[in-house]
Amino acid sequence: MKQVILFLILFSFVALPCSTLAQERRASGLFVVIVNDRRGYIDRSGKIVIEPQFEGASDFSEGLAVISTSQNGYKLGYIDETGRVVIEPQFDQAHDFSEGLAAVGIGEFGLHNSGDHKYGFINKVGKMVIEPQFRDTWGFSEGLAVVRNDEGKWGYIDKSGRLIIPHQFEFAANFTEGLAVVFVNGKYGYIDKSGNIAIQPQFNSASGFSEGLACVKIGGVLMRPYGYTITYSNSPRGEYAYIDRTGRILFKLKVENAHHFSEGLAAVEVNGEWGFIDKTGKMVIKPQFGGQSDFSDGLRMVIVRGGGIGFIDKTGTVVIRTNFDLAGDCSDGLASVQLGGLSSDDLRNAKYGYIDKTGRVVWTPSR
């Protein structure tokens, strides 16, 4: 059974620990809620604007959201912000719209992207403008989409489906700020939109560029694409660094982990606790929190020392304390929260809701 459902994930693993591959959520003012195991949407005030009726539902992106129901065999389609189905459910996988196009999958999708399937791209009226032919994709960013062929190699296409950068990389990410991370001969580097190497592959992990900087790891354990990397107490540490678009190292940090910049700050881990640096590398919020989310809407979700989920502002002050078990980033004025469901056995009992930037419960967690 295929569903698109609301999951709140406190820690999300990526092969690149300071990656910015995840597509930003588009502000719509509508938020998924669950009532009697049916998904609908509320506005920022908590008023239901699209009645809960879908077994699966995603956030809106460029005015459309992915939905599914059991009536169509859990095929995926799209609704507009009035709740009207504008692209009939017909796909086995469906991604958010980005730059006017959405990746959709047809065929069998198994664990870890196994199964006989292909991805293509549709426009906002549901027309297949790039025929299904790719094994995987991250979608469009800055005019190009990174796509993987049946041989496991990644390349880039334009919006006509023309192959602009040939399939040649073991791993490749979306373009951000004109450059894209690629994995070449066991190291991460960056290419430009012509496919030329812009920053030589030399790093053991690398993020996309954000606010003019990218986070990279020099030495230490190689973070391989698509898989967990096991480290031991005697494993070489390496250093994290931040580079500009020329590849120049601006500063290095002896920390356990580091993330990309968002809203002028980047999270770094020291002795198992997270703090924040500014763009000079200065520690402006001392390491004292758990969690790895970004600043969004001026707030950042943290695990507060002593237990509990909270939100801090850019001074490091805890401005919201909650009694919830999990929480998501504050986005578009609200933050998602969760009660229960902390184990795989208990996931079906999880309840989901929202709070606003003052900590007021806008939607009481429901199931």
Q: Is the pLDDT of residue 226 over 90?
A: no
Write out pLDDT tens, residues 294-342: 899 999 999 888 778 999 999 999 999 999 999 998 999 999 999 999 8
Q: Are 206 and 216 in contact (CB under 8 A)?
A: yes
State what percent of residues in the chain have pLDDT above 70: 90
- The size of the chain, in residues, is 367
CA distance linking residue 114 with residue 56, whole number of Å:
22
The answer to which of 9-18, 63-72, 103-112, 120-129 has the lowest mean pLDDT is: 9-18
Whole-number pLDDT of residue 205: 95
Specify the pLDDT at position 233: 57
Tabulate helix, strand, coil % of the chain (nearest 5).
5, 50, 45
What gap in Å lies between CA 17 and CA 92, rounded to an integer?
29
For the cut 80, the answer to whether the pLDDT of residue 266 exceeds it is yes
b vs e for 268-279, b when ≥16 Cβ sit within 10 Å of the residue's Cβ? bbbeebbbbbee
Averaged pLDDT, 232-240: 76
Could you read off the pLDDT of 154-171 as tens digits, one per residue? 999 999 999 999 999 999
SS3 label, residue 201: strand
- Angle CA 150–154–156, to nearest 5: 115
Place of tokens 């506005």: 43
Q: For residue 150, what are its two tokens? A: 């049946």
Assess whether pLDDT exceeds 80 at residue 1.
no
Tell me 348's DSSP state.
G
Angle value at C-alpha 314, between 308 and 319, nearest 5 degrees: 40
Instruction: Note the pTM of the prediction, 2 decimals.
Output: 0.90
Give the span between the Cα atoms of 108 and 90, in whole angstroms: 13
Per-residue model confidence (pLDDT) at position 20: 35
- Residue 54 near residue 39 (C-beta atoms within 8 A): yes
Going from N- to C-terminal start, the domains of the chain cover 284-358
pLDDT tops 60 at residue 236: yes
The arithmetic mean of pLDDT across residues 128-152, rounded, is: 97
pLDDT, residue 229, reads 56
Read off the pLDDT of each residue in 35-39 and give the average, rounded to a whole number.
Answer: 96
- Cα–Cα distances (Å) from 148 to 170, 173, 328, in that order, read 9, 11, 30
**Residue 198 pLDDT greater than 90, yes or no:** yes
In this predicted structure, which of 70-84, 124-138, 234-248, 258-272 has the lowest mean pLDDT?
234-248
Q: How many CA atoms lie within 13 A of 343 on its CB side?
A: 2
The percent of residues above 90 in pLDDT, for the chain, comes to: 80
Confidence of residue 3 (pLDDT cuts 50, 70, 90): very low
